[in-house]
Structure 1
């Protein structure tokens, strides 16, 4: 589907480069670099974060020179930055889940690896379905716009502390009912065999919960990037590059998330702006992509700066032993 939407060798080359980068990372990361469970240091997280930002910028440059020029490149960077910013809330929820289940830090890497792998697959499905629907019913874009404005207003007004309640999660209840779940972590394993029977560990439940929350966050992020671009290649690659750097960003920001408390307010303005930009097309008002990119970057940077200038006391996350 994605390749069919492009013509010419340049676009196919770009998609091939993208596929090689992602596949190579997955193979090297799981098969060579992290064979054994270990805690990821802040230094490693910073290096990996810089690496993925660098790779994403280079790929955006390739889109500029070999793809659709400045328009597609700016759309790529706008979608990438938006998804990256929206990932901050995702990181906070993942941290809550890991602490709720009292998961050891040396197991974080493998859990996030498989979580990201699932996100790559599900985001492809979401983007494919979104493109299919928009191709048949263009007016769905306006519904997306209204939904983004609603989400932005809701996020801006929501000052309640984020909580998770896995025991009330319908999907977790179903998994526990259908699958034999052990109470033992088994050294970081997700599944194991005992006396000829397949068992699932609590870490498997954690992965299921993280995947389900990512799908919930995708409900906001996918319409947001469709509001920025309708180019499926730009949407998918920017989305996946942002997700690939999510794990490193998690380890980098896990202990300092509370410092950037105004970022959520900034995200609300970004969502409202993107939704309004989409609805503005109803009256034939088109906002140039470079203005959209500037607004998104400006609001996010301002949110971070104001968070540092006017700090608040960090809230303690409650750990629950299960």
Structure 2
């Protein structure tokens, strides 16, 4: 892995200001009137966010070199791919709480801002940990390999995620919540009391879900780069494009039947990469006497990028072919039925 860059405070401030500007632009343009987001509108915003992410990558390439650019791009693609799988849970939450279509974009935007703050904290802690303690690579590698195993052998139907989980139940127990939505308001005043609305509960559920997702995604990107600046930028651009991807894909996400297996391969690959790096950085006394294991191969980020892109391409094409075959098989019996009835 390339060593972390030396990023001055002004560059951090400029990056955060640019990201905040994108969020405000989104709020001003999209949120000026509640409406159901169309596919065309989602496509335009996704193009904008991907363009910004690629422009940032080009800047990294020019000012920091191709290795750092490869690290950022690999991390961005990995985080965005993991985000696509998370859309299943977001759809479950929206359906469970019957969120009106015209307010779903607001829920996701607030949830993503919360996620950015939480992940920023995680990244700061993680960056300090990997620099100070080499055993953290073993921990992150183990998390990813275990997650890959779960992805590979647990179907979507077997996954247990409760949109009314612990945090949401605690909020409902501590605060009064209205039965109905009141536009996009989070709280209302009724009979002299301040009440929460279901919109507030939905946002808590979205934020809680992303907190769970961070357990997988943060170790994954630290397996690609240890640079906190690139880790944060990759996460930020992936998250900001996630909201529009939700509306663009919609039910199409369910057609990506092999995506989970692709993610299992990607997370397993990065997990193995982290274990190999942990061997190189080894300081644990019960492994090789506490000495670095120099014979373990290191996987550079160009190979990582090639593996991840190849796996995504194969799983996407295979999923679409499977979906087309299933659709054709579902149509053929209905077409043959009238002919059978005519013969009878």
Q: Name the TM-score, length of structure 1 as normaliser.
A: 0.90
Query: In the alignment, is the contact (CA less than 8 A) between 1:14 and 1:62 conserved in 2?
Result: no
How far the C-alpha of 1:310 sits from its partner, in A, is: 1.9
CA distance in 2, matches of 1:32, 1:148: 38
Moved runs in structure 1, 4+ residues, more than 6 A? Answer: none
**Aligned position for 1:208:** 204
**Aligned position for 1:62:** 59
**Aligned position for 2:287:** none
CA distance in 1, matches of 2:98, 2:303: 44
How far the C-alpha of 1:49 sits from its partner, in A, is: 0.9
**Aligned position for 2:322:** 310
**Aligned position for 1:21:** 18
CA distance in 1, matches of 2:275, 2:162: 36
**Aligned position for 2:286:** none
How far the C-alpha of 1:197 sits from its partner, in A, is: 2.2
**Aligned position for 2:247:** 251
**Aligned position for 2:28:** 31
Length, aligned pairs only: 306
2:148 maps to 1:136:
no
CA distance in 2, matches of 1:78, 1:129: 21
Deviates more, 1:194-203 or 1:253-262: 194-203
**Aligned position for 1:319:** none
Counterparts of residues 110-189 of structure 1 (less than 5 Å): 110-161=106-157, 162=159, 164-167=161-164, 169-189=165-185
2:115 maps to 1:103:
no
Deviates more, 1:305-314 or 1:111-120: 305-314
CA distance in 1, matches of 2:183, 2:117: 27
Higher Cα radius of gyration? 2
Give the alignment's Cα RMSD to 1 decimal: 1.7
**Aligned position for 1:295:** 307
CA distance in 1, matches of 2:14, 2:251: 34
Relative to structure 1, the CA distance from residue 173 to residue 266 in structure 2 (aligned partners, 3 Å threshold; closer, same or farther) is same
Of 264, 270, 273, the residue aligned with 2:260 is 264
CA distance in 1, matches of 2:51, 2:156: 36
CA distance in 1, matches of 2:94, 2:160: 13
CA distance in 2, matches of 1:182, 1:251: 27
How far the C-alpha of 1:32 sits from its partner, in A, is: 4.2
CA distance in 1, matches of 2:326, 2:181: 34
- For the residue of structure 1 that corresponds to 2:251, the secondary structure is coil
Query: In the alignment, is the contact (CA less than 8 A) between 1:14 and 1:63 conserved in 2?
Result: no
Of 48, 53, 59, the residue aligned with 1:51 is 48
Query: In the alignment, is the contact (CA less than 8 A) between 1:38 and 1:107 conserved in 2?
Result: yes
How far the C-alpha of 1:20 sits from its partner, in A, is: 2.8
How far the C-alpha of 1:18 sits from its partner, in A, is: 2.2
Question: Structure 2: 5+ residue runs without aligned partners?
Answer: 280-292, 328-344
CA distance in 2, matches of 1:175, 1:164: 18
How far the C-alpha of 1:133 sits from its partner, in A, is: 1.8
CA distance in 1, matches of 2:319, 2:187: 42
2:38 maps to 1:41:
yes
Relative to structure 1, the CA distance from residue 160 to residue 243 in structure 2 (aligned partners, 3 Å threshold; closer, same or farther) is closer
Query: In the alignment, is the contact (CA less than 8 A) between 1:97 and 1:164 conserved in 2?
Result: no
Deviates more, 1:97-106 or 1:14-23: 14-23
Query: In the alignment, is the contact (CA less than 8 A) between 1:263 and 1:303 conserved in 2?
Result: yes
- For the residue of structure 2 that corresponds to 1:186, the secondary structure is coil
Query: In the alignment, is the contact (CA less than 8 A) between 2:92 and 2:163 conserved in 1?
Result: no
